């Protein structure tokens, strides 16, 4: 098999080849390393390399499979780790100059579970400083990441390194984190799949504000099936997390088949007058027919999101301000430092107003899910802007992404086509808390009907 084709196979397909011994783990790892060496200079998705260790672990993984001692549902697959997740013995910078040479002595729970499932950590992936300093995947330590579908385009924020690495075939799987859309936006802009799980389903451990439920790790991959397989390795309770949310299915690939006949879909685009690019809105409306052809009942279900941005900010930065505290006064991004001080100065009344608006949004969602099984929205209101356009990144309206972290809803983003210039687009499928399997199944049915995710970027 051609090395490029091997790298672009889904993780499920790669795993089948590894399990059948048609391809060795060593061959897969070598092919991906060669691809990183060929393309990363232009993309800047990978920021810390672990090639020698990965090759040694690949040989050990092949020996284990030969001896019948393969372990875990990800055995022999590679993972790129977002540089906000601590990796024991491997540089983790949080994209901050204050931690440029930081080497943790522990693994984040996500990394622990990746290793326990048999995955090989191949590299660390780029992100903005503390994931929130910019809506560009850019930082003062490593610089900007570019989109494989357009070298002048941003790959999304803040898991842009993960999105770009997957779109370019550099890794089998990549993790991300999502406090405002950072798994879903890069997935849409890089023509891959991202899943924001029900809050606390993948415990965020360690966490400086454990009861804060808006930030969550999430799996990213080239297909819905890969994403589901990856989720199965990451999900489940941990004794260090005070909220217990069960895994949505057993480890391994779940049954993603679903009879869409009669499934009730709530459909909406601008949600109370949000500004959505007319071409994105038109493309989104075209997708309605896909779901109707699959047998679903698609009905209008707008949710008023027109005023939630400021309330979202008050609540999200409770977590962010605690996380950035060690870097305050040590060269931290000026915008992050300003948010830190603003959050410290917030009053109880400010927080109560935000919580009251969140409660109203929850009530609206309860009513929506009383009538519909899932909700489907566009992922983003605009197409990707330039990788270096700070002004455009600040003007971008992320409101369509905010409901899921505010309410802890499982949400799957799946490719839904391209702009006239070839920039990828995505739609998001939202479900009730713990309905992760359903959002993945609906996304899988749509993915199989459209095949948008099969299109590779023109970088080879």
Q: In the sheet that 216-221 helps form, which strands lie side by side, from edge to edge?
A: 46-49, 120-125, 78-82, 173-178, 216-221, 193-196, 411-418, 424-430, 374-378, 264-267, 297-300
Six token digits for residue 215: 């930030």
Domain assignment of residue 459, yes or no: no
User: What pLDDT sits at residue 155?
Assistant: 98
User: What pLDDT sits at residue 83?
Assistant: 98
CATH number of residue 440's parent domain: 3.90.1300.10
User: What pLDDT sits at residue 373?
Assistant: 98
Domain assignment of residue 460, yes or no: no
Domain assignment of residue 129, yes or no: yes
User: What pLDDT sits at residue 1?
Assistant: 81
Buried b (16+ CB within 10 A) or exposed e, 94-122: bbbbbbeeeebeebbbbbebbbebbbbbb
* Residue 257 is a catalytic residue: no
- pTM beyond 0.85: the answer is yes
Six token digits for residue 13: 């397909």
User: What pLDDT sits at residue 156?
Assistant: 97
CA distance readout (Å), 191 to 134, 393, 449: 21, 19, 16
Task: Domain of residue 435: give its range.
Answer: 3-454
* Residue 158 is a catalytic residue: yes
Domain assignment of residue 226, yes or no: yes
Q: How many domains is the chain partitioned into structurally?
A: 1
Which residues make beta-bridge pairs with 81? 124
Domain assignment of residue 103, yes or no: yes
How would you write the pLDDT of the chain (460 residues) with one tens digit per residue? 899 999 999 999 999 999 999 999 999 999 999 999 999 999 999 999 999 999 999 999 999 999 999 989 999 999 999 999 999 999 999 999 999 999 999 999 999 999 999 999 999 999 999 999 999 999 999 999 999 999 999 999 999 999 999 999 999 999 999 999 999 999 999 999 999 999 999 999 998 888 898 999 999 999 999 999 999 999 999 999 999 999 999 999 999 999 999 999 999 999 988 999 999 999 999 999 999 999 999 999 999 999 999 999 999 999 999 999 999 999 999 999 999 999 999 999 999 999 999 999 999 999 999 999 999 999 999 999 999 999 999 999 999 999 999 999 999 999 999 999 999 999 999 999 999 999 999 999 999 999 999 999 998 7
Helix (H, G, I), strand (E, B) or coil at 163: helix
Six token digits for residue 71: 């372990």
Closest CA to 10 of 460, 457, 454, 452: 454
**d(Cα 56, Cα 60) in Å, to the nearest integer?**
6
Domain assignment of residue 81, yes or no: yes
Domain assignment of residue 309, yes or no: yes
Domain assignment of residue 320, yes or no: yes
Catalytic one among 82, 96, 177, 321?
82
**d(Cα 264, Cα 255) in Å, to the nearest integer?**
20
User: What pLDDT sits at residue 50?
Assistant: 98
Catalytic one among 182, 199, 393, 404?
182
């Amino acid at each position: 098999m051609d090395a490029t084709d091997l790298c672009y196979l889904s993780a499920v397909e790669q795993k089948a080849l590894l399990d059948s011994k048609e391809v060795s783990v060593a061959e897969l790892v070598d092919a991906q390393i060669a691809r990183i060496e060929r393309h990363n200079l232009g993309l800047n998705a990978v920021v810390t390399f672990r090639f020698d260790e990965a090759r040694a672990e690949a040989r050990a993984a092949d020996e284990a499979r030969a001896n019948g001692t393969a372990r875990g549902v990800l055995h022999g697959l590679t993972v790129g780790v977002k540089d906000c997740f601590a990796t024991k013995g491997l540089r983790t910078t949080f994209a901050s100059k204050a931690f440029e040479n930081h080497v943790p002595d522990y693994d984040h729970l996500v990394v622990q579970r990746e290793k326990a499932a048999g995955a090989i950590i191949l590299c660390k992936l780029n992100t903005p400083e503390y994931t929130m300093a910019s809506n560009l995947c850019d930082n003062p330590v490593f610089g900007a990441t570019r989109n494989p579908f357009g070298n002048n385009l941003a790959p999304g924020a803040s898991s842009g390194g993960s999105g770009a690495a997957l779109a370019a075939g550099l890794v089998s799987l990549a993790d991300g984190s999502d406090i405002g859309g950072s798994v879903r936006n890069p997935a849409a802009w890089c023509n891959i799949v991202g899943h924001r799980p029900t809050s606390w389903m993948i415990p965020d451990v360690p966490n400086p504000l454990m009861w804060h439920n808006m930030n969550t790790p999430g799996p990213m991959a080239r297909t819905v099936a890969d994403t589901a397989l990856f989720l199965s390795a990451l999900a489940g309770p941990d004794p260090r997390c005070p909220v217990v949310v069960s895994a949505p299915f057993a480890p391994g690939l779940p049954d993603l088949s679903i009879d869409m006949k009669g499934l009730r879909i709530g459909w909406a685009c601008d949600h109370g007058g949000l500004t959505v690019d007319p071409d994105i809105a038109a493309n989104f409306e075209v997708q309605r027919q896909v779901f109707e052809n699959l047998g679903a009942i698609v009905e209008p279900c707008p949710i008023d999101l027109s005023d939630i941005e400021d309330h979202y900010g008050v609540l999200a930065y409770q977590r962010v301000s605690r996380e950035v505290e060690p870097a305050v006064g040590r060269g931290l991004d000026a915008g992050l430092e300003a948010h830190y001080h603003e959050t410290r100065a917030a009053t109880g009344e400010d927080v109560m107003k935000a919580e009251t608006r969140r409660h109203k949004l929850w009530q609206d969602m309860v009513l929506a899910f009383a009538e519909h099984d899932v909700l489907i929205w566009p992922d983003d209101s605009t197409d990707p802007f330039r990788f270096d356009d700070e002004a455009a990144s600040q003007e971008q309206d992320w409101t369509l992404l905010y409901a899921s972290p505010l309410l802890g809803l499982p949400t799957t983003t799946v490719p839904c086509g391209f702009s006239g210039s070839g920039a990828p687009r995505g739609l998001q499928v939202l479900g009730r808390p713990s309905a992760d399997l359903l959002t993945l199944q609906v996304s899988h049915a749509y993915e199989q009907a459209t095949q948008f995710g099969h299109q590779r970027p023109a970088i080879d």
